[in-house]
Amino acid sequence: MAQREIRVLLERAIDALPEAFRTVLVARLIEGMSIEETAELIGIKPEAAKTRLHRARTLLKQEMEKHVGRVMGDAFPFAGPPLRVAPGR
């Protein structure tokens, strides 16, 4: 269940990326294109494609970090604070 929720969050985070970053990310990671092929596809220099990919990954990581802790907490609701034992017991 947690994996499904994480996948949905990841898809939403990718969809929310600015188009320029999303296009490079999808071309590289999902379509498996090289940096050169990606750059040619969108008409930019390979260095610019690398920069966009790095920024896309950074934004994606930041967005996922906001949510993953909450999802994992929902997956393991019993993982609350430790029980305290009264002194002398």
> Where along the chain do its domains lie?
2-75
pLDDT attached to residue 70 = 59
Using an 8 Å Cβ cutoff, are 45 and 39 in contact? yes
**Helix/strand/coil (H/E/C) assignment for every residue in the chain:** CHHHHHHHHHHHHHHHCCHHHHHHHHHHHHCCCCHHHHHHHHCCCHHHHHHHHHHHHHHHHHHHHHHHHHHHHHHCCCCCCCCCCCCCC
Averaged over successive runs of 10 residues, the pLDDT of the chain (89 residues) comes to 83 94 95 97 97 95 80 50 53
pLDDT attached to residue 54 = 96
Spatial distance between the Cα atoms of 26 and 80, rounded to a whole number of angstroms: 38
Write down the pTM of the prediction: 0.72
pLDDT attached to residue 83 = 46
Identify the CATH assignment for 2-75 out of 3.40.50.620, 3.30.230.70, 1.10.10.10, 3.40.50.920.
1.10.10.10
pLDDT attached to residue 87 = 59
pLDDT attached to residue 73 = 52
